[in-house]
A = this chain, B = another copy of it.
Amino acid sequence: MSTISIPVRTPALTYNVEIGSGLLPFVGGRVDALLDGALSAGKAKVFVVTSPEIARLWAAALLAGFPTPPTVLSIPAGEQYKRFATLETLLEQLAEGGADRDTVLIALGGGVIGDMTGFLAAIYMRGIRYIGVPTTLLAQVDSSLGGKTGANLAAGKNLVGAFHHPLAVYSDIDVLATLPAAELRAGLQESVKAGIIRDRALFEYLDTHSDKVLASDPAALTHVVAASVQVKADVVAADEKESGLRMLLNLGHTLGHAIEAATHYKQLLHGEAVAWGMLAAIAIAKRRNLITVDEHDRMERVIVAYGPLKRFEADPAHLVALTAKDKKNRGGNRSFVLPTSIGTSAVFKDVTLDELTYTAERMMAMVARDGVA
């Protein structure tokens, strides 16, 4: 088994992201080694947090690799369960299951499972360790990295959380084979984003190899996942707490979050909302002459190639209003990530309501024209 290991350096610690095909059965042994044999010595308990669907597909392969069987805690899949009530249930289960400060949690699942498990680990007994085993492309290239954990409030997504880094992340490319095509494509939008903001070579690979990538060719997917992880690792290393550089990762997310909120997190996948948000962002960048028309059109073509982009209904003015609740607004100011070329980008703090309205209206016209049901 050949895998790629990418170190993620943070001020607090460095951890490894290992990416490869057929990795799942080896995770237990790797975690035991990371903990100096604490699992095989019976000195540390492991709890796997997952959903019934993912457990049915992948739990057996994962659990088989552990010296003693971990306890499996299951929560329903979906953004609507990323809430305090679910967290409290899991926390009580951890306490009743005898979890202590040496306990290690394993997040086996997509972004919701990862964010929730990381947050559980951040707050159970004021902080225990956790390991990421992301099972969606989106989680592998984005949400499992960087230590952002949390849950939603009724008032907004990810309004509650903590920074808490995993001990390690293991991304098995094979698990992506069971993903619905739409979810794979939505996850690839985060790779497109990584290319646009910081890695021209990745963007060009995605442009020229879209057939292989979209056909889930293992080598092509491993390349794309590893390159995307490297972009995020670089950004996280340079700026752990999102005060500057890390904000670049939010390209497409300001309006993306607004779209998700306007559609009650039900119609679009996160990556699909981000894709629309990126189209809106590159339109502002073109209008500001930050990028050429050619650059804009090439970005648009690649984003659309990794579609199809799903249709949704929203009032442009409502979308603009929803961006005001974005966590990136400090003291009332609006911030927006815009590309400055293919492979470079910057945070612009002076994006006006007029620009937002312009791009939201333009985007909704595109939705009506090009969006698919």
Contact = CB atoms under 8 A, between A and B. Distances in A.
Interface residues of A, number: 36
Contacts of A293: none
B153 A88 contact: yes
Nearest to A160: B123
Interface of A: 43-44, 84-85, 87-88, 91-92, 95-96, 100-102, 122-127, 148, 150, 153-156, 159-163, 325, 327, 329-332
Contacts of A331: 43-44, 100, 102
A44 B330 CA distance: 9
Nearest to A329: B100
Contacts of A150: 123, 126
Given A43-B331, A101-B327, A331-B100, A153 B92 contact: yes
Copies of this chain assembled into the complex: 2
Contacts of A162: 122-123, 126-127, 162
Given A91-B153, A127-B163, 4 more contacts: A44-B331, A100-B331, A123-B123, A126-B148
6 contacts: A92-B154, A95-B155, A101-B327, A125-B327, A126-B160, A127-B163
Contacts of A127: 162-163
Contacts of A101: 327, 330
A87 B83 CA distance: 12
A102 B159 contact: no
Nearest to A326: B100
Given A84-B84, A123-B162, A126-B163, A330 B100 contact: yes
Contacts of A123: 123, 150, 160-162
